[in-house]
Amino acid sequence: MKKQDVLDTSNLDEQKLAELDHRIESIEGNVEEALIDILHQAQNLFGYLPYNLQRYVAKKLGLPSAKVNGVVTFYSLFSERPRGKYTVSVCMGTACFVKGADKVLNRILGLTGTEKNVMSEDGLFTVQDVRCIGACGLAPVVTINDKVYGNVKPSDVDDIIRRYKKGDEYAD
């Protein structure tokens, strides 16, 4: 990858950039402390944090790009790649794992036809494994966006994913 690819922001939506600028300008106090918040807002606006957007934020805040990239790659909530409409997180904490979370994960990957952390072709799903989310009593646990599914068996997965594919995700 060349420097120029990172400097070029022509593929980023101008209106969204203007909105981001506005939010950056309203920072009070230390910019370094505001970095995580600004990255959150950038991800909410653009859906994910491509390299050129990270560099854009770095320049606006007067920080080195490496610092911004370090923060983005540290927190699993930030994504450098486009994400599906639904983020499916399978808990891989100890309790979930011993109760078969890996089988649940594999089943979900099979049904969505994707790899971990890569958006499915239909743009609907990004599947990821996560560390303990603190709901061990419900193990194994899967979250899809803000919704929590507990005691998930591999055989339950087909039904859940089908509902999201059909678009009636809020139907229980």
Q: Which is nearer to other proteins, 73 or 151 (CB)?
A: 73
Sequence letter at residue 115? E
Among 7, 77, 98, 148, binds other proteins (CB under 8 A): 7
Task: Tell which residue, 87, 76, 94, has the closest CA to residue 132.
Answer: 94
Q: Which is nearer to other proteins, 66 or 148 (CB)?
A: 66
Determine whether 107 is exposed, middle or buried from the number of CB atoms within 10 Å of its CB (0-12, 13-18, 19+).
buried
Asked if 61 touches other proteins (CB under 8 A), the answer is no
Binding segment (CB under 8 A) for other proteins, from list 2-10, 39-47, 81-89, 96-104: 2-10
Binding segment (CB under 8 A) for other proteins, from list 49-57, 104-112, 144-152, 162-170: 49-57
User: Three-state DSSP class for 130?
Assistant: strand
Q: Kindly state the smallest distance separating residue 47's Cβ from other proteins, in Å.
A: 18
Q: Are 76 and 128 in contact (CB under 8 A)?
A: yes
How many whole angstroms from its chain centre is CA 95? 23
Among 3, 25, 33, 171, binds other proteins (CB under 8 A): 3
